[in-house]
């Protein structure tokens, strides 16, 4: 059983202007869940490596030839997906681009939704929207969106380069010097995407803050790496389908 922050989400009626906002909300929910998946994958990876480092398993060739490449490929591909600028995609970068429309995410709908959900004064809801429109705009400001897009682009550039030349494609070695990626760079990219998701979560759910994108793993999960799956003396009694 995984106790994850997204399992406690409250369903609310989307605010915004017309079907355009409803579409954005649906696409953001998918992207946010994929961000949660990235953090879940990293949490599992970290838990597994702690177990392996405490035992001789950490030196086994399988760890280096299978588990490390599998985790890296999974993580960098997911990050690359969220930075994709293709207009046919619903990446976080594209979701931000769509927010530049002055009719998509408006102050009036945000305030109305905030007040109806929490029964607070409009002034409090107005202040909450100011983070998305710091100069008092009636909609999410373009400068705010530009700043988030720049943060996203800068924080994932090493990961995107690695994904494009090593994971998604097999670049000819004479075309460019080898691309390397450190785990620190990978972690920074994951953390920054998590922070972006937290900021957009508040726009999606007025008055609600996402404390973290990281799940809480059930400690019992690690038993699979500490206890043998087949104990000494077991007997195969029912053919290939039944272990006793």
**Domains in the chain: boundaries:** 5-241
89 pLDDT above the threshold of 70: yes
| pLDDT tens, position by position, 95-154 | 999 999 999 999 999 999 999 888 888 999 999 999 999 999 999 999 999 999 999 999
| pLDDT tens, position by position, 93-108 | 999 999 999 999 999 9
Distance (Å, whole) CA 62 – CA 83: 31
Q: Which two tokens stand for residue 77?
A: 């591909």
Helix (H, G, I), strand (E, B) or coil at 114: helix
Query: Percentage of the chain surpassing pLDDT 90?
Result: 57
Distance (Å, whole) CA 43 – CA 75: 12
Single pTM value for the model: 0.79
95 and 85 in contact (C-beta within 8 Å)? no
């Amino acid at each position: 059983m995984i106790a994850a922050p997204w399992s406690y989400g409250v369903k609310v009626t989307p605010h915004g202007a017309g079907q355009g906002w409803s579409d954005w909300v649906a696409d953001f929910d998918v992207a946010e869940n994929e961000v949660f998946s990235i953090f879940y994958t990293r949490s599992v990876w970290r838990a597994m490596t702690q177990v392996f480092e405490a035992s001789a398993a950490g030196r086994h060739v399988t760890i280096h030839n299978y588990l490390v490449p599998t985790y890296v490929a999974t993580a960098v591909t997911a990050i690359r997906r969220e930075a994709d600028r293709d207009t046919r995609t619903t990446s976080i970068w594209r979701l931000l681009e769509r927010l530049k429309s002055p009719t998509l995410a408006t102050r009036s709908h945000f305030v109305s939704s905030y007040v109806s959900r929490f029964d607070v004064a409009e002034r409090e809801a107005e202040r909450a929207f100011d983070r998305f429109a710091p100069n008092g705009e009636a909609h999410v400001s373009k400068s705010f969106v530009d700043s988030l897009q720049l943060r996203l682009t800068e924080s994932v550039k090493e990961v995107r380069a690695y994904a494009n030349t090593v994971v998604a494609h097999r670049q000819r070695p004479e075309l460019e010097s080898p691309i390397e990626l450190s785990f620190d760079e990978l972690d920074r990219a994951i953390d920054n995407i998590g922070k972006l998701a937290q900021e957009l979560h508040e726009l999606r759910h007025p008055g609600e803050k996402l404390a973290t994108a990281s799940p809480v793993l059930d400690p019992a999960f690690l038993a699979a790496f500490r206890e043998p799956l087949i104990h000494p003396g077991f007997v195969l009694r029912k053919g290939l389908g039944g272990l006793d």
